[in-house]
Structure formats: C-alpha cells, structure tokens
C-alpha cells in the first residue's frame, strides 16, 4: 500500500498551504491534475474546485471536505478517515458503504465494477 507523500508541484503546495482560492485560479482549464498519493491530512478544502483532479491513493485524514463536489474527481484508493464530509458529492462509482468504511476506519475506497 502506498504511503501519503508531499508532492513537489506548485498546485500541491497551494493546497497544502490551504490557499484554495489561489489553487482554483491557477488550476488549468483543461486536462487532469495529478495529485495521486498526496498527503492532504487535516486541510480545509471546502472551497476547492475538485473537477478533473486525480486523488488516487490520496490521504484526507481529518480534512474538511464539507460541501465539495467530488463527482468529477478520481478517488479510488483514497482514504477519508475522520474527514468532515457533510454535503459532499462523491463519484457514482463509490458506494455509500465504501465511503462510510473509509470515513470510520480509514480503509481505502474501491470503485464498484462497471
């Protein structure tokens, strides 16, 4: 299993410093944003534009994800242990049981087979 890591990219640094508004401004208008395996523990990400972000294997322990629209983000293998998720939208490929298990026990979320 992969461990969360600090990424060496300007966009990751903005998120890690909780400069979410600046991240949203600098985010490319097209294409995927690679934040695979990112360590996002404890961050306040409530205003994040998460569309097209690849959070595969990312670690959100204790993060504030309230109200986020994550439907266009990739979350397979991510962990949301003890994160605040009230009002958040998740990808259709994630079942409620996967989200709940990850939130309560830190399990990595698995997408349902197509």
Using one digit for the tens of pLDDT, what is the confidence trace for 13-44? Answer: 999 999 999 999 999 999 999 999 999 999 99
How much is the pLDDT for 49? Answer: 98
H helices present in the chain, as ranges: 10-16, 20-26, 96-105
pLDDT-derived band at 114, boundaries 50, 70, 90: confident
The Cα 52–Cα 31 span in angstroms is 7
pLDDT-derived band at 10, boundaries 50, 70, 90: very high
Q: Range of 40's domain?
A: 1-114
In angstroms, what CA-CA distances link 96 with 17, 26, 109? 30, 32, 10
- Specify the number of domains making up the chain: 1
């Amino acid at each position: 299993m992969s461990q969360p890591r600090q990424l060496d990219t300007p966009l990751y640094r903005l998120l890690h410093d909780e400069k979410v508004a600046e991240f949203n401004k600098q985010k490319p208008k097209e294409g995927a944003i690679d934040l695979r395996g990112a360590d996002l523990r404890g961050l306040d990400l409530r205003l994040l534009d998460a569309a097209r972000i690849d959070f595969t294997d990312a670690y959100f322990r204790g993060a504030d994800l309230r109200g986020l629209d994550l439907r266009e983000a990739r979350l397979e293998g991510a962990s949301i242990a003890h994160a605040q998720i009230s009002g958040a939208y998740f990808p259709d490929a994630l079942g409620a049981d996967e989200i709940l298990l990850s939130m309560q026990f830190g399990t990595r979320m698995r997408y349902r087979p197509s």
